[in-house]
Amino acid sequence: MPSAGPNVPRHVAIIMDGNGRWAKQRGLPRIEGHRRGVETVRSIIDAARELGIQYLTLYAFSAENWQRPPDEVSALMSLLELFLRREAKTLIKNRIRLHTIGRIEELPAGPLKELKRAIAATQEFTDWNLVLALNYGSRTELADAARAYADAVVAGREKPEECSWSALSRYLYTADLPDPDLLIRTSGETRLSNFLLMQCAYAEMIFSPVLWPDFTKAELVTAIEEYQRRERRFGLTGEQVKPPVRVHRPAVNQ
Ligand code: FPP
């Protein structure tokens, strides 16, 4: 398996930003930027697997994105449906398990059906994981988790005095996923925009100026190299943690 060497982040989460600006720069409608963004999604899924990244989470549609113009929302939903219909076979071929985070039940019937189908068809895979954040927002996630925890208390399955982060995190959408090691946002914006706020407590953050439709495997490798130069301390001192392992630049075939 080609890999970026030791110390490859196990979980990379990406805020895919800049589709609209990419289109505007070319005098194209915003939806063209999203269409090109889907091509980038395909190539980055392949790249992540080639580099040995076990979990790739993509912020595909936020809980706030419903407020965009209706034609853009419906175009994004159509692109999602088409992507799932076309990519399901590739996910199966490459043994990639599809997960979602977010209130997916509120998605339109078409993409929801394709999502459920692809999730079921890939559920046996364990090595590679693609997580699509859809109708996702961290604050909604926390509210949903608090409600589920409160229901469990009422049902006698949990005790309020035993509420800790590890107990509460079992009620998050991400209960079965490791925390992201590396968070990347494209397009030069330096915000988290309600994305995995709790789970990224110790994630390294890299903000790339490249617009999402132009983001390539080479940019992903550059971000990983930057990640590998950083010292993750998790609240400890530099002396308490081992120095990071330095690696050679992996081959990039594009
Ligand atoms: C941000 O760019 C991007 C989004 C809100 C949607 C991301 C969606 C895709 C890449 C395509 C659909 C995804 C899948 C998985 C099929 P923006 O529109 O906010 O860009 P701007 O800030 O330049 O306007």
pLDDT of 244:
57
Q: Is residue 218 part of a domain?
A: yes
Tens digits of residue pLDDT in 29-39: 999 999 999 99
Mean pLDDT of 216-225: 97
How far from each other are the two terminal CA atoms of the chain, in whole angstroms? 17
* DSSP structure class, residue 109: H
96, β-bridge pairs: 128
Q: Is residue 166 part of a domain?
A: no
Query: Which atom of ligand 1 lies nearest, measured to the CA of 23?
Result: 23
Q: Is residue 38 part of a domain?
A: yes
Q: Is residue 19 part of a domain?
A: yes
Q: Is residue 21 part of a domain?
A: yes
Q: Kindly tell me the burial class for residue 252, based on how many C-beta atoms sit within 10 Å of its own C-beta (0-12, 13-18, 19 or more).
A: middle
The answer for 12, left when phi > 0, alpha when psi is -120 to 50, beta otherwise, is beta
**pLDDT score of 2 more than 50:** no
Q: How many domains does the chain have?
A: 1
Q: Kindly tell me the burial class for residue 152, based on how many C-beta atoms sit within 10 Å of its own C-beta (0-12, 13-18, 19 or more).
A: middle
User: How many angstroms is it from 126 CA to the middle of ligand 1?
Assistant: 28
Pocket test for ligand 1, best of 14, 17, 32 (most atoms within 8 A of CB): 17
User: How many angstroms is it from 37 CA to the middle of ligand 1?
Assistant: 7
Q: What percent of the chain has pLDDT over 90?
A: 88
Mean pLDDT of 141-149: 98
**173 in Cβ contact with 102 (< 8 Å):** yes
* Parent domain of 17: 11-137+180-232
User: How many angstroms is it from 124 CA to the middle of ligand 1?
Assistant: 29
CATH number of the domain enclosing 22: 3.40.1180.10
Pocket test for ligand 1, best of 14, 34, 194 (most atoms within 8 A of CB): 34
The chain-wide mean pLDDT, for the chain, equals: 94
- Residues serving a catalytic function are 17, 65
Alpha helices (H) in 94-216, listed in sequence order? 109-122, 138-154, 165-168
User: How many angstroms is it from 2 CA to the middle of ligand 1?
Assistant: 29
On the CB side of 8, how many CA atoms lie within 13 Å of its CA?
A: 22
Tens digits of residue pLDDT in 4-24: 557 999 999 999 999 999 999
pTM: 0.92
Query: Which atom of ligand 1 lies nearest, measured to the CA of 59?
Result: 7
Mean pLDDT of 180-194: 98
Q: Is residue 254 part of a domain?
A: no
Q: Is residue 146 part of a domain?
A: no
Q: Is residue 152 part of a domain?
A: no
Q: For 40-49, 193-202, 231-240, which range has the lowest pLDDT when averaged over its residues? A: 231-240
**Stretch (H or E) spanning 73:** helix 70-93
Pocket test for ligand 1, best of 14, 15, 19, 74 (most atoms within 8 A of CB): 19
Mean pLDDT of 37-56: 98
User: How many angstroms is it from 194 CA to the middle of ligand 1?
Assistant: 15
Which protein residues are within 6 Å of ligand 1, measured from CB?
Answer: 16-21, 34, 37-38, 41, 58, 60, 65, 76, 79-80, 83, 132, 187, 212
3-state secondary structure of 66: helix
